[in-house]
Amino acid sequence: MINPKRVKPENMKTRTQRTEKITIDEMPKRPVYVFRDEREQTKFCLSLRSWIRSSMEYKDYIQFLKNTMDWRRCAILKNAINANGRRYTIEIHHEPFTLFDIIDTVVRKMIAEDIPIEPLCVAEKVMELHYDGKVGLINLTKTQHELVGNGQIFIPLQFIYHDYYAFYDEYKDVMSDAIKEKIKIKTEMSLRCDQIQSNVLTPEFVAMDVDGFEFPEVPEEWGKLLEEVEIK
């Protein structure tokens, strides 16, 4: 075995060096998507939705909301808070536009403006809308979030945070008919809820037939209308 201490510098061989000039005619390009039909576009948006949710930018944004806007508390169940030793899971719900709706609409606008559909570019624009406060959000417990997603709870638009209308105003010309119809229904439902709340301030006493009394129920047509326009 050679002892490095006994090797004299004059006996060591030096490597010859040479410089190769390389010319790059074309830089690597990001993948560009061209959709053949609505099904391919939907598949792309669903895949990108999962990507965005797992991104550091999205996680940092959600953490920012919880830390600075007291979004560790459920907007519906005020006593459900993830603090002071309590371990309620508080999640952020997109409303009235789902995260899929936002991605799909951004993609449609890029197509309309003949902009190449690159996943990273779409994701950056979606997150830009979040940070600009143009995405409607509300903080809910995990259970409430599931109930809203299943259509068992309706949240009136007047209780949604951030300027979601700015997003609608900017992208309404390229939104799908299904999303437009869903927003129309939710707006009408919200106005009806507002009317119900206003009536509570001016109560009216009504004589009731006890034998025929029934508990109030949420109108079935509300859920049915939303199911008809929901994007799968």
At 197, the pLDDT band (50, 70, 90 cuts) reads very low
Q: Would you call 193 exposed, middle or buried from its count of C-beta atoms within 10 A (0-12, 13-18, 19+)?
A: middle
- 180: which 2 tokens? 């437009």
In three state form, how does the secondary structure of 37-62 look? Answer: CHHHHHHHHHHHHHHHHCCHHHHHHH
- Indicate if the pLDDT at residue 5 is higher than 70: no
Share of the chain above pLDDT 70, in %: 72
Other C-beta atoms lying within 10 Å of the C-beta of residue 4: 6
Q: Which amino acid is at 115?
A: I
- Indicate if the pLDDT at residue 13 is higher than 90: no
Residue spans of alpha helices (H) in the chain: 38-53, 56-68, 99-112, 119-131, 142-149, 164-171, 177-201, 220-229
Task: Provide the residue count of the chain.
Answer: 232
Q: Residues near 60 by Cβ (< 8 Å), separated by ≥ 6?
A: none
Q: Summarize the confidence of residues 178-187 as an average pLDDT.
A: 92
Instruction: Note the pLDDT of residue 53.
Output: 95
How confident is the model over 22-48, as pLDDT tens digits? 776 666 666 678 888 999 999 999 999
- Share the mean pLDDT of the chain: 80
Q: Summarize the confidence of residues 198-202 as an average pLDDT.
A: 41
Residue-by-residue DSSP string for 163-204? -HHHHHHHHTTT--HHHHHHHHHHHHHHHHHHHHHHHHHS--
- Indicate if the pLDDT at residue 183 is higher than 60: yes
- pTM score of the predicted model: 0.72
Q: Please report, for residues 17, 144, 173, the alpha-carbon distance to residue 147 in angstroms, rounded to integers and kept in the order given.
A: 69, 5, 31
- 146: which 2 tokens? 């599931």
Comparing C-alpha atoms, which of 116, 119, 145 is closest to residue 46?
Answer: 119
Please confirm whether the linkage preceding 96 is cis (ω < 30° from 0).
Answer: yes
- 227: which 2 tokens? 């199911």
| Of 200 and 181, more confident | 181
Instruction: Note the pLDDT of residue 212.
Output: 46
- Indicate if the pLDDT at residue 200 is higher than 50: no
| Of 157 and 207, more confident | 157
At 213, the pLDDT band (50, 70, 90 cuts) reads very low
